[in-house]
Structure 1
Amino acid sequence: MSLLTNERLGISGATARKVELRPNWTEDDLQQVFRAAYEHVFGRERVYVNGVFASAEALLRDGRINVRQFIQILAKSEFYKERFFYNASQVRFIELNYKHLLGRAPYDQSEIAFHVDLYASQGYDAEIDSYLYNPEYDSAFGDTVVPYYRGFQSIPGMKTVGFNRMFALYRGNGNSDNAQYSGKSSRLRQQVAMNLSNTISASALSLGMGSYQPSGRLNLAPARGDNRVYVVEAIVGGVGTQVAVVRSRQRYLVPFDQLSQRYQEIHNRGGKIVSITPA
């Protein structure tokens, strides 16, 4: 896809990001690996890492483990479990494992069923290892490359539906996997179970917004005179003051072509976007 198309789809920050720890690496190279690994595996939650994996970093620096094993440590950690396992549905957990460890979305019900059965029979560690030690991971990343989002590209063995499904899981690098629409529930359960394709919804990144409720298929080039109207709900008040001020929740009816302008106005006033839904 072209750079312009990637920007309109909100995936320009996720495509072709390949970070590899090659022989004769420098400390700067190693730091790039750490940053890429935390960003991809934990997403927005990476901001809370803050030394949690110092021992694992030391092992990689000393050459006692490789990049694949470093990713394995991250995915088997309590840090990962607390954010993506304990409070999530089982199917949501599997979706996130595909996203974080293989860089794509699950294609069909057979892939979901395989991992449900694997976890039930062999447990958590076997579930994580099944993504990291298989021919697909070998071919895509091997022992030296940090996993990255491959689901937006043409990859060997990829089903066409995988491209659409990836949009249901990836909502921009600044978006939390635990704070998206649907909370910690599955994003793909219904479409996968019914063997249906997902619609492609504009990401929060592509519209420049922090909270977005999907509303159908994305129009890459909206026609002139687009008459869609959205309800923007925001919390406003209390900006520029050090005293306690009541902040109120307000709703605005905003035409499609004025969404970006309204978003900026709200944030310039110290407000926070709560939701954006079709009127």
Structure 2
Amino acid sequence: MASLMTAQRLGIEPFSDSAPVELYPGSASADAEVVIQAVYRQILGNAYVMESERIAVPESQLKSGSISVREFVRQVAKSELYRSRFFENCPRYRAIELNFKHFLGRAPNDLEEMRAHSTILDNQGFDAEIDSYIDSDEYNQCFGENVVPYYRGFSTEGNEKMVGFTRLFQLYRGYANSDKACGKQSRLNREVIQNTASPIYIGSTSQVIPGISGGGRGQFYRLSVVQAAGAGRMARIRKSSMEYLVPYEQLSWKLQQINKQGGKVTSIIPA
């Protein structure tokens, strides 16, 4: 989905071309240190970690090979550092939406997911809530034992709702910002409760890619598209600019079609 706009304009350039960070069996200590830093960055929401805040024993266990990356993620997530930053000082639904972001790399899909995790907190407590993500089939399929969780929601995946793409932008506030600095208020309460998608604002401009499920029924949008001429020696020179007038109900389908045809959407505005 991110190929519809350049990653730079959307603000996700640091993630668009980055390979997942993985620790292979028998890796050197320097490789383990790279993984440790990646885990802190992802699980703690890009917040700065002081030397005195690092969890030394699990770090040593990871470097020695006695625990996996998944278990190191679990130790960081259950640490007092994580708990104090993203659980004890946050409203419940803010804590849950950040758990989805930090551990599964996506935004919650719907209110039922949020309620299910709220029930876990009520009945089993904080540690069980953390385990429910890290021991899930989804975590296992996406990251396994040795891959550091990363933001999956910036690209479309099979069997995933496209609404998650728009919602992750509400949770992701740019590579220079941290979840600790972005406040304690939930960013998705209204969208999740109303089952609507969030608008995506491009960079610091007021241009917006509308949400693609919920709101705007009957609205038309004007899409400006640059389409490459196709394969051949002159393909880099000859490009065609086109506009489409698309009803809201067909917007998601049309964007996917343009993407498959190699087009680049330069603007989406209400008609």
Report the TM-score when normalising by structure 2. Answer: 0.72
Aligned position for 2:194: 194
Query: Which amino acid letter does the alignment assign opposite residue 80 of structure 1?
Result: Y
Decide whether aligned partners of structure 1 residues 189 and 4 sit closer, same or farther in structure 2, where only a CA change above 3 A counts. closer
Q: How far 1:216 sits from its partner (Å)?
A: 7.2
Query: Which amino acid letter does the alignment assign opposite residue 154 of structure 1?
Result: T
Query: Which amino acid letter does the alignment assign opposite residue 146 of structure 2?
Result: T
Instruction: Give the fraction of aligned pairs with identical amino acids, expressed as a percent.
Output: 44
Query: Which amino acid letter does the alignment assign opposite residue 157 of structure 2?
Result: I
Show CA shifts across 1:16-67 (max 9, x none).
4400001231222111101111111113323335452111100111222100
Is residue 94 of structure 2 the alignment partner of residue 92 of structure 1?
yes
Query: Which amino acid letter does the alignment assign opposite residue 187 of structure 2?
Result: R
Contact preservation (8 Å) 2:170, 2:198 = yes
Decide whether aligned partners of structure 1 residues 17 and 46 sit closer, same or farther in structure 2, where only a CA change above 3 A counts. farther
Counterparts of 2:201 and 2:5 in 1: how far apart (Å)? Answer: 17
Aligned position for 2:124: 122
Q: Secondary structure at the match of 2:48?
A: helix
Is residue 193 of structure 2 the alignment partner of residue 152 of structure 1?
no
Gaps of 5+ in 2: 211-223, 225-271
Is residue 21 of structure 2 the alignment partner of residue 19 of structure 1?
yes
Choose which of 180, 204, 208 in structure 2 pairs with 1:217.
Answer: 208
Show CA shifts across 1:124-166 (max 9, x none).
0000000000110011000000000000112232101000000
Query: Which amino acid letter does the alignment assign opposite residue 129 of structure 1?
Result: D
Query: Which amino acid letter does the alignment assign opposite residue 155 of structure 1?
Result: E
Decide whether aligned partners of structure 1 residues 119 and 35 sit closer, same or farther in structure 2, where only a CA change above 3 A counts. same
Counterparts of 1:2 and 1:198 in 2: how far apart (Å)? Answer: 19
Decide whether aligned partners of structure 1 residues 169 and 64 sit closer, same or farther in structure 2, where only a CA change above 3 A counts. same
Aligned position for 2:76: 74
Show CA shifts across 1:207-241 (max 9, x none).
4xxxxxx967259xxx9xxxxxxxxxxxxxxxxxx
Farther off after superposition, 148-157 or 158-167: 148-157
Counterparts of 1:81 and 1:51 in 2: how far apart (Å)? Answer: 13
Aligned position for 1:48: 50
Farther off after superposition, 42-51 or 148-157: 42-51
Contact preservation (8 Å) 2:93, 2:189 = yes
Q: How far 1:4 sits from its partner (Å)?
A: 6.5
Counterparts of 2:110 and 2:206 in 1: how far apart (Å)? Answer: 23
Counterparts of 1:192 and 1:65 in 2: how far apart (Å)? Answer: 36
Gaps of 5+ in 1: 208-213, 224-279
Decide whether aligned partners of structure 1 residues 119 and 108 sit closer, same or farther in structure 2, where only a CA change above 3 A counts. same
Contact preservation (8 Å) 1:102, 1:131 = yes
Show CA shifts across 1:171-202 (max 9, x none).
1222121322xx20110001100101111124
Query: Which amino acid letter does the alignment assign opposite residue 185 of structure 1?
Result: Q
Counterparts of 1:37 and 1:46 in 2: how far apart (Å)? Answer: 12
Query: Which amino acid letter does the alignment assign opposite residue 18 of structure 1?
Result: P
Q: How far 1:3 sits from its partner (Å)?
A: 9.8
Decide whether aligned partners of structure 1 residues 108 and 49 sit closer, same or farther in structure 2, where only a CA change above 3 A counts. farther
Task: State the number of aligned residues.
Answer: 210
Q: How far 1:107 sits from its partner (Å)?
A: 0.7
Aligned position for 2:11: 10
Counterparts of 2:159 and 2:3 in 1: how far apart (Å)? Answer: 22
Contact preservation (8 Å) 1:199, 1:216 = no
Query: Which amino acid letter does the alignment assign opposite residue 11 of structure 1?
Result: I
Q: How far 1:2 sits from its partner (Å)?
A: 3.8
Farther off after superposition, 39-48 or 78-87: 39-48
Query: Which amino acid letter does the alignment assign opposite residue 158 of structure 2?
Result: P
Contact preservation (8 Å) 2:45, 2:180 = no
Counterparts of 1:192 and 1:128 in 2: how far apart (Å)? Answer: 21
Counterparts of 1:44 and 1:36 in 2: how far apart (Å)? Answer: 9
Contact preservation (8 Å) 1:14, 1:173 = no
